[in-house]
A = this chain, B = another copy of it.
Amino acid sequence: MTFTDPAAPSADTAQQELISALVRASFATTAVLSRVAAEHDLSLTQLRVLAILRDRRVRLSDLADYLGLDKSTISGLVDRAEKRGLLQRAPNPADGRATDVFLTAEGMQLADLGEGKIARSLSPMTGKLTRAETIRLTALLEHVLKQKGP
């Protein structure tokens, strides 16, 4: 026989409150990222492209997978970034159908700059936590992000 504490929120309520907080935190974070991007005349998507290419050379189809966007969208996205000198296309040496993309020196520099700006812009949010809380929140978020097993 189990007894329920009437003052304790039900599992459903706790779940709802987590979802509410998660969604609001996502919008707040996205707003900061968008602002940083806009300061460099980038869209949020372009900023994500820079972040992805910062330590990878990938095919356009990989970029589409990472971003969850259609390949035709990627074509335009890469066109504009290439025209701006942030990245370059090159044929994939192993697959004649594929095209690789990678950052130029200018794109790399902008990606580095952006990383620092993002950290500073988010610090009003993340900097309020103690060191222990920071570590605990990170672990919980990583847990939430973990993919379901096979």
Q: Using a CB–CB distance below 8 Å, which chain A residues touch chain B?
A: 11, 14-19, 21-31, 33, 48, 68, 118-119, 122-129, 131, 133-138, 140-146, 148
Contact = CB atoms under 8 A, between A and B. Distances in A.
B119 A15 contact: yes
Nearest to A28: B145
Given A16-B119, A30-B30, A21 B135 contact: no
Nearest to A9: B135
Given A19-B119, A26-B26, A128 B141 contact: no
A126 B140 contact: no
A18 B144 contact: no
Nearest to A142: B21
